[in-house]
Amino acid sequence: MKSLAKPGGWEKFFWPVLAAALLLAVWHFSVIWTATKVFPSPLSVEKGLAELLRKHVLWADIGDSLRRVAIGFGTAVVIGIPLGLTLGWYPAANQVLNPVLQILRPISPIAWIPVAIIFFGIGDRAAIFLVFLGAFFPIVVACVSGVSNVPSIFRRAGRNFGLSPAQILARVVFPAALPQILIGLRIALGIAWLVVVAGEMIAVDSGLGYLVIDSRNSGKRYDLVVAAMLLIGVIGLALDIGFRRLEKIRSVRWGFRS
């Protein structure tokens, strides 16, 4: 049965630290036991990380990746939210547009690379375009379902108080749908982070994704590869946590308390 005893406060740190320590130990010893010449041990990863920090390349790469995410994600928000709200508000429009979206959505942004290169050439813009594609669909979908899930009581109250359809959309439907939209945005941000790293592995020559693949290609520096991977994980996590903070703001918190 579910463990009933409430874990003490200290356990919040104890268990994850224990698990992490175990993981590191297993990692360390498997490197030693298999006598691998290539796969890095935890220590060499740490040294590699320090090396990257010293060389200052790291900050430029991190900055590049974040910048691409910011622009691509920002564009997806600016275009996707109004579109999603409209489609959610006018089911007829959604009916028409939805099949197109459903066909485009399963195409990995990475598969768009050749097309992106045609339009944007190799480089920053192509990567930003990929990020946009990755974030766009989840945002639209979240807006559509957010709007359709607004209880009809709210819409009726809006009509009752004499609000025009535009006012109802702005003052009733949008705030009511906001929690769900925020969740969609957070998920889209996570996807954007995945896409930018993947895109940088193929279509550009800077950024954390590029760092991963370059470290391997130019010298089999797997210690740097793993260091970069861990950085990617940590930054992605930071983005996620930061976004969750938004969900705690008073005027939307109502939607997240259950």
Partner 1 sequence: MATRDSVTTSVSGVKLRMEHVGMVFARDGKSVSVLEDINLDVRDGEFICILGPSGCGKSTLLNVMGGFLSPTSGSVSIDDETVHGPDPRRILVFQERGVFPWLTVEGNIGFGLSKLSSSERRHRIAHYVQMTRLQGFEQTYPSDLSGGMKQRLQVARALAVNPDILYLDEPFGALDSVTRFIMRGELLRIWQTERRTIIFVTHDIDEAVQLADRVVVLSSRPAKIQDILTIDIAHPRNLSSPRYLEHRDDLLKKIGLAYAV
Partner 2 sequence: MSSSVRLRPVAFIAALVVIWQIAVNRHPGQLLPGPLEVVRGIGDLLQHGLLLKYVVASLFRVTWGFLLAAVIAIPLGLTIGWYRRAEMAFNPLVQIFRPISPLAWIPIAILWFGVGDLASIFLIFVGCFFPLLLTAISAVHNIPDLYVNVGRNFGLSTADFIYRVVYPAVMPQLITGLRITLGIAWLVVVAAEMIAVNSGLGFLIVDARNAGNRYDLVVAGMVVIGTIGLLLDLGMRSLERVKSFRWGYSEN
Q: Which does 28 bind (CB under 5 to 8 A by kind): partner 1, partner 2, none?
A: none
Helices (H), 56-123: 57-89, 91-104, 113-120
* Cβ atoms of 67 and 131 closer than 8 Å: no
Choose from partner 1, partner 2, none: what does 215 bind? Cβ within 5-8 Å by kind.
partner 2
Dist CA 147 CA 181 (whole Å): 9
Q: Which of residues 62-121 bind partner 1 (CB under 8 A)?
A: none
258 binds, among partner 2, partner 1, none (CB under 5 to 8 A by kind): none
User: In the block, which residue shows the tokens 């190799």?
Assistant: 122
Contact in structure between 135 and 73 (CB atoms under 8 Å): yes
Q: Give the number of other CB atoms < 10 A from CB of residue 106.
A: 8
216 contacts 227 by C-beta, under 8 angstroms: no
Tokens representing 174?
A: 């949008």
Nearer residue to partner 2 within complex by CB, 237 or 249: 237
Phi–psi pair at 163, nearest 5 degrees: -80, 145
> Dihedral of CA 136/139/143/145: which sign?
positive
Would you say how long the chain is, in residues? Answer: 258
Q: Which is nearer to partner 2, 100 or 153 (CB)?
A: 100
CB of residue 140 to partner 1, shortest distance in Å: 22
Q: Which is nearer to partner 1, 54 or 257 (CB)?
A: 257
What end-to-end distance do the CA atoms of the chain give, in Å? 25
Our finding on whether 236 is near partner 2 (CB under 8 A) is yes
Task: Please report whether residue 248 would count as binding partner 1 according to CB under 8 A.
Answer: no
Interface residues for partner 2 in 181-210 (CB under 8 A)? 190, 193-195, 197-198, 201-202, 209
CA separation for the pair 127, 68 (Å, rounded): 7
Quote the least distance from Cβ 11 to partner 2, whole Å: 6
Q: Tokens 């259950």 identify what position?
A: 258
| Residue 8 binding result from partner 1, partner 2, none, given CB thresholds of 5 to 8 Å by partner type | none
Tell the smallest beta-carbon distance from residue 85 to partner 1 (Å). 16
* Selected binder of partner 1 within 156, 165, 233, 238 (CB under 8 A): 156
Binding mask 34-53 for partner 2 (x = CB under 8 A): ----xx--------------
Interaction between residue 3 and partner 1 (CB under 8 A)? no
| Per-residue binding letters, 191-230, with partner 1 (x by CB under 8 A) | ----------------------------------------
113 or 142: CB nearest partner 1: 142
